[in-house]
Amino acid sequence: MSGKAMIGGWEAAPGGRVRLRPRGGADIFDLALLGRTATIERVEEDMEGGVHLVVAVDDDPGRGLGAHNQLGHRFFVRPDEVEPLPGGAPARKVLVAGIGNVFHGDDGFGVEVVRRLGERQVPDGVDVTDFGIRGIDLMYALGDGYRTVILVDASARGHTPGTVSLIEPDAGGFGGTVDAHGLDPAQVLRLARDSGPVPPRVLLVACEPSARTSDTTWEMELSAPVGAAVDEAVRLIERLLEKELA
């Protein structure tokens, strides 16, 4: 997987806007796609070194079914089959990713924060997404051309329950321990780095869970201190977005 590619003097990267010009001519899909506008979702390289663009067509009613590998709703095209649209530079700048298992008490902190943030107006260029425990989806998203990713998660770091922390991990990971919900942000980040480019800036907004969370199953309520920390985390993320987009 590659994050971007130079094509005829312009840079094709995730988020770039293009018009499709299929060269096959006889194929029914070529005829259906001819002249349609689309957004580049991924730039991939095959085993022979050939570059392919994965695009989502703008007026495809099924494009919202999922960001990756939705059969029939993502198309592979060659670089010579697209032309850049004016002002079609990548619009994706910041990804806010909520992580956690909503059935494990305070482990649902990240999911609740992005839900609350999604109810507010966010600036252009910011995607707010609930990844839950979908580690593969998050790994792919980290290669989608964002400049910054803000991960939101419950993380046991030895603080008072409800304490919100801002962490900028180094290449080795986040430090501390992350609640065992099947999606370890440090591991996902390492896998994404092994697969290709990742955002140059990765931040973690973490909240200290209560002690009962590690033993909680099928509990969909946040504890009182963690529930009270949700709004604090939302305000922190909004300040971060203001700085990242300045």
Among 21, 68, 19, 11, residue whose Cα is nearest residue 41: 68
Top pLDDT among 1 and 120 is at 120
What's the burial of 202, exposed, middle or buried (CB within 10 Å: 0-12/13-18/19+)? buried
Is the CA virtual torsion 131, 164, 186, 216 positive or negative? negative
For 179-230, write each residue's pLDDT tens digit.
444 567 777 777 777 777 778 889 999 999 987 655 556 778 899 999 999 9
For 138-173, write each residue's pLDDT tens digit.
888 887 778 899 999 998 888 999 999 999 865 445
For 96-106, write each residue's pLDDT tens digit.
999 988 888 89
- Local confidence band at 233 (pLDDT 50, 70, 90 cut-offs): very high
Top pLDDT among 121 and 69 is at 121
pLDDT score of 181 = 47
Q: Which helix (H) or strand (E) holds 118?
A: helix 109-118
For 39-80, write each residue's pLDDT tens digit.
888 888 888 878 888 888 887 765 555 444 455 567 888 888
Top pLDDT among 2 and 100 is at 100
pLDDT score of 171 = 43
> What does the pLDDT average to over 33-43?
85
List, in sequence order, every residue forming a beta bridge with 153; answer none if it has no partner: 206
Cβ-contact 5, 11 below 8 angstroms: yes
